[in-house]
Structure 1
Amino acid sequence: MVNSLWFQWKSLKLPWRKSRLAGVDLAGNTFWEYRDDPNASRWRRMLKPDPKIHLSDVQVTPQWHQWLRYVRENPPTVEEQQQDVVRQLQIKQLARLADERWASKPSYLDKPQPQNSIPSVGDGSGSLKSQNLPHSTQNATPSLPESTSESTPPKEANPWAKADRSNPGDSWQPSDWSPNSKR
């Protein structure tokens, strides 16, 4: 009660005042406007942090930072600051849900699972034409031979091994320089 009355008194725009309270943020920091003696026509803006908070721990919200840098004319209201806190909480919730959706999807970096599907037959459009397949192959799933499914796949030859390793400039050397040579 006493603090709010003091804040109201300090925020009044009286003609003899050299400084006035512009507002308070949710962390307890106060923001002031004061007249600079060399340039009395302009009000300067400053932050006085909460004395209970160490200076390295002071955080200024974007709205108050805009006001300090003269980007916005009027200081933010308490309701605007509270709405911004609610907005930040909603964004964190949406980001958490997006992270959960992303984590639930299979990664392309994981080992691919063996496909148990019948290759498509027919017109090349990828559709399976079941009327052209015999009844016994329609419901059958292809299986890999046991020897290849349990052992590691054979190593392929290195494709770079057969590449020509010689460059045209490997044997080239510059000629000796002599100061008396003519072109």
Structure 2
Amino acid sequence: MSPVNSLWFKWKSLRLPWRSSFLVGTDLSGNTFWEFKDHLNAGRFRRIVKCDPKTHFSDVQVSPQWHQWLRYVRAEPPSLQEQQQDVIRQIQIKELARLADARWASKPSYLDMPKTQQPAPVTNTADATLSSPETKNDTPQQEVQKEEAAPPKEDPWAKAPAGGPSENWQPDAWSPSATKR
């Protein structure tokens, strides 16, 4: 801040009796915060923020400390040291969040595909290179006989009854009854 601006801010912050508005402070973004006497409510001061006229209203950022002061949640305006400490705290929180995200990303997720490949299914083939050591001496006819010799698997639904208790159920017709008065 230039010396001229500093002197101007000191002059505007003096609470002189003829002055209607007083400069309370500035934030790190260059916004100025003012207090002025409300003519309708003589005992109350109104609080406002004035930003650079070149800044669009949607781009104005007010820190939480100054927002509290504007809404009368805190009585004293925040100091420059308090605002600087808050900026340092925000930087530290962002760094901790970055480290937590990196730690979270390094852990495997149950939603990801497994990295190990599944073993290939066992198949019976006549090729000696693909068959297992037990079946190397077997001919294709012997393999077919082994498959036929195995007892067929029983179907558990074959013994189930054909129809259940609700198979032939039909709803009753609706007949309105007289209402009680």
Q: TM-score when scaled to structure 2?
A: 0.66
Q: Map 1:18-57 onto structure 2 (within 5 A).
A: 18-57=20-59
Percent identity between the two aligned chains: 61
1:134-163 Cα offsets, whole Å, 9 max, x none, are xxxxxxxxxxxxxx70249xxxxxxxxx9x
CA positional deviation for 1:38: 1.0
1:83 aligns with 2:85: yes
Q: Secondary structure at the match of 2:119?
A: helix
CA positional deviation for 1:14: 1.4
1:68-99 Cα offsets, whole Å, 9 max, x none, are 00000011111111111111011001100111
CA positional deviation for 1:106: 1.2
Among residues 100, 110, 113, which one is paired with 2:112 in the alignment? 110
Matched to 1:176, the amino acid is W
Matched to 1:10, the amino acid is K
Unaligned runs of 5+ in 2: 123-159
Aligned to 1:97: 99
1:8-48 Cα offsets, whole Å, 9 max, x none, are 11011112221100111111111100001011111110111
1:10 aligns with 2:12: yes
Aligned to 1:125: none
Unaligned runs of 5+ in 1: 115-147, 153-161
Matched to 1:25, the amino acid is D
CA positional deviation for 1:177: 3.1
Aligned partners of 2:98 and 2:86: how far apart in 1? Answer: 18
CA positional deviation for 1:176: 3.3
Aligned partners of 1:95 and 1:25: how far apart in 2? Answer: 26
Among residues 136, 149, 170, which one is paired with 2:119 in the alignment? 149
Q: TM-score when scaled to structure 1?
A: 0.65
Aligned to 2:126: none
Q: Secondary structure at the match of 1:13?
A: coil
Q: Secondary structure at the match of 2:68?
A: helix
What RMSD in Å do the two structures reach over aligned CA positions? 2.9
Aligned to 1:175: 173
Aligned partners of 2:57 and 2:66: how far apart in 1? Answer: 17
Aligned partners of 1:70 and 1:60: how far apart in 2? Answer: 15
Aligned to 1:129: none
